[in-house]
Structure 1
Amino acid sequence: MSDAADNIAALIEPTVSALGYELIRVTYGGGRKPTLQIMAEKPDGSMGVEDCAKLSRELSLILDVEDPLPGEYLLEVSSPGIDRPLTRPKDFERWLGFEAKVELGTQMDGRRRYRGRMTSFTGDMLTMETDEGVVELEFGEIAKAKLLMTDELLEAVQKSAAEKKNEAEAASE
C-alpha cells in the first residue's frame, strides 16, 4: 500500500468495523482523477450492493471532514469478488486448496512471482504447489496475492452462497 492508502486505512478502519464490516484493502492512485478504492466485506464473507452503498455514504462523510487527499478523486467501495485479493492471514487460511497468484516484495531464489495451489498456511508460512514444485513463502514477504478464477473456485463460491441462502430461509420460517 502507498502511504496515502495506509493513512486512509488507519483513518477509516474504526468506522468500517463499527458498521460490522472487515476492511480488506485500500488502494489509491491513477491518472488525472485518481481513484480511492476501499474493499470490504462482512465477517461471513458477503457484501451486497446495499452494503457497499451504506459504507460509501458513511466513509464519504469521514473523508469530506478529514480531507486526507489532495484534489479530486473517485471513491469506489466494493466487495473483494470471487478472484479476491488475499491480504490477511485469515484470507490464506480460508482459501486453502485453491489456486492463487502471489508476488513477493523481494526476490527469492531469483523469482518474485508464484502461481499455484495453496496447500497450507501455518504460523506465517504459506506453502504452494507450483508447476516447478513446492514453495514456502513467508507471509511478511508477500506484497500482493489474489485468488485465480477457476471452475473449482466458482463452484465453491456458488455452493457457499446457496448454503447461506438456505440457512437464511430456514431461520425466517
Structure 2
Amino acid sequence: MKREAVEEFVASIVEGIVEGTDMELVDVEYVRERDWYLRVYLDKPGGVDLDDCQIVSEKLSEVLDAKDPIKENYLLEVSSPGLDRVLKKDKDFVRYNGSDVDVQLFKPIDGKKQFTGALAGFSDTTITITVGEEPIELERSAIAQIRLHFEF
C-alpha cells in the first residue's frame, strides 16, 4: 500500500475511534526515516493526555493487526501535534486565523524563505499573513510548511 493510501486508511480508522469523543484527528503521517513510522496526531480542548493517546493507540493497533494493511515493519506513535503544530487543512486555517505563524517556503521570495506573521486569510491557492502592517499573499504550492509560532 502506498504512503498516501496508508495515511487515508489509518485516518478513516482513527476518525471512527474518536467519533463521539471530544478528540479530533489532526493528521496522519506514514514516513520512512531510519525505520517506517506511522504517526497519528490528536487534539481536544485542553489538549490530549497520555491516557487519550494510549486508548487510541490500543484500539488502532487492534484494527491494524486484524486487517494487516501495511506490509513493512513500522513504529506506531500516537501523540499531540504540540504547541508549534503544523497547519495543513482549511479547518486549521479557520481555527488559527489571527494567530502568529512561521511559514517556510520551498524557494526564496525576495531573498527570504522564512516569514513570521499573523495568519490573515486563505483561499484554495493562497495563504495570507500579515507581517507588521503589510499583508503578504503566498501561493500554497510555494509553501513547504506552516507552523504555529511559539516563543519561549
Q: Cα distance 1:139–1:23, how it changes in 2: closer, same or farther (>3 A)?
A: farther
Whether the aligned pair in 2 keeps the contact of 1:8 and 1:68 (CA below 8 Å) is no
Deviation at 1:139, TM superposition (A): 5.8
Q: Deviations over 1:27-65 (max 9, x none)?
A: 1122453111100112x2521111111111111111111
Is 1:51 paired with 2:52? yes
Aligned to 1:121: 121
- Identical columns (%): 32
Q: Cα distance 1:134–1:111, how it changes in 2: closer, same or farther (>3 A)?
A: farther
Aligned to 1:144: 145
CA distance in 2, matches of 1:19, 1:58: 14
Whether the aligned pair in 2 keeps the contact of 1:35 and 1:73 (CA below 8 Å) is yes
DSSP 3-state at the match of 2:83: coil
CA distance in 2, matches of 1:113, 1:45: 33
Aligned to 2:69: 68
Name the amino acid aligned to 2:93. Answer: F
Whether the aligned pair in 2 keeps the contact of 1:28 and 1:34 (CA below 8 Å) is yes
CA distance in 1, matches of 2:13, 2:139: 28
> Unpaired runs of 5+ in structure 1?
152-173
TM-score normalised to structure 2 length: 0.75
Q: Cα distance 1:87–1:65, how it changes in 2: closer, same or farther (>3 A)?
A: same
Name the amino acid aligned to 1:115. Answer: F
> How large is the RMSD of aligned CA atoms in angstroms?
3.1
Name the amino acid aligned to 2:71. Answer: P
Number of residue pairs aligned between Structure 1 and Structure 2: 147
Give the number of the structure whose residues are more often helix, by fraction: 1
Give the number of the structure whose residues are more often strand, by fraction: 2
> Unpaired runs of 5+ in structure 2?
none
Name the amino acid aligned to 1:27. Answer: E
TM-score normalised to structure 1 length: 0.67
Q: Cα distance 1:70–1:49, how it changes in 2: closer, same or farther (>3 A)?
A: same
